Amino acid sequence: AQKITQTQPGMFVQEKEAVTLDCTYDTSDPSYGLFWYKQPSSGEMIFLIYQGSYDQQNATEGRYSLNFQKARKSANLVISASQLGDSAMYFCAMREGPGGGTSYGKLTFGQGTILTVHP
Amino acid sequence: NAGVMQNPRHLVRRRGQEARLRCSPMKGHSHVYWYRQLPEEGLKFMVYLQKENIIDESGMPKERFSAEFPKEGPSILRIQQVVRGDSAAYFCASSRDPTYNEQFFGPGTRLTVL
């Protein structure tokens, strides 16, 4: 079974509009972390935002916010006021704890969503 | 404060040669992770190391691949007798500790096997 699922292979958004990138996850571990990374065409992986499973509030970092719905096991990334430079591949990733039967620290990635921002 | 450094950025090898990829973690980080990204795919975990120790190598192919993180110097991912299927981007990431809420990636090494 997929541990991290990103169901949108591609998304389009108009400049200055908001966009939501979907991510669902599957784990039986009560302690886990969720990450979002941006990969522009140049190839590097840029850390955007983190949400811990015990965090009471949704994480925010500038124009990025994470819509964390624990019961639904979803961790959607919301980008507000999209800019042309936001065009990139976006990856959701999960870090599980020792209770998940795996080593602490390693990330499991989704397949990614390509976001295109139109002027 | 320099970020995670990887070199070389691009590496071309012929089938059967060896590839050595190097990763220097961020200052103060002692946990290193290697990931592989095949074309058009997400990143896949390969190995997790601390200084002088392999913590988890569950994602490493059983043959031809090895990794180390010596007491001094960078972490090395070594691929012996490369094949065309090894062509990929190899990323290294580091963190202060495994529970930390950030894991920073290097720029990656793009390996092309001719």
DSSP-based three-state secondary structure for A99: helix
The answer to whether the Cβ–Cβ distance between A106 and B108 falls below 8 Å is no
pLDDT digits (tens, 9 = 90+) for A89-113: 999 999 886 554 556 678 999 999 9
Contact assessment for residue B19 and residue B13, using Cβ atoms and an 8 Å cutoff: yes
The answer to whether the Cβ–Cβ distance between A33 and B101 falls below 8 Å is yes
CB of B101 within 8 Å of a chain A CB? The answer is yes
Higher pLDDT, A118 or A31: A118
Query: Beta strand B5-7 with B19-24: parallel, antiparallel or unpaired?
Result: antiparallel
CB of B90 within 8 Å of a chain A CB? The answer is no
The residue type at B63: E
What pLDDT is recorded for position A34? 93
Cα(A87)–Cα(B7) distance, rounded to whole angstroms? 27
Nearest to A43 among B31, B56, B89 (CB): B89
Does A6 score more than 80 pLDDT?
yes
Is residue A40 very low, low, confident or very high in pLDDT (cuts 50, 70, 90)?
very high
Q: To probe the interface with A, which of B38, B57, B99, B112 has the most A CB atoms within 10 Å?
A: B99
Higher pLDDT, A77 or A42: A77
What pLDDT is recorded for position B92? 96
What pLDDT is recorded for position A1? 57
Q: Which residues of chain B have pLDDT under 50?
A: none
Q: What is the mean pLDDT of residues A18-29?
A: 94
Does A12 score more than 90 pLDDT?
yes
Contact assessment for residue A66 and residue A36, using Cβ atoms and an 8 Å cutoff: yes
pLDDT digits (tens, 9 = 90+) for A59-80: 999 999 999 999 999 999 999 9
What pLDDT is recorded for position B52? 87
Cα dist from A31 to A6, A8, A81, B30, B52, whole Å: 21, 26, 32, 22, 27
The answer to whether the Cβ–Cβ distance between A106 and B43 falls below 8 Å is no
Nearest to B102 among A50, A103, A106 (CB): A50
Rg over alpha carbons for chain B, rounded to the nearest Å, is: 13
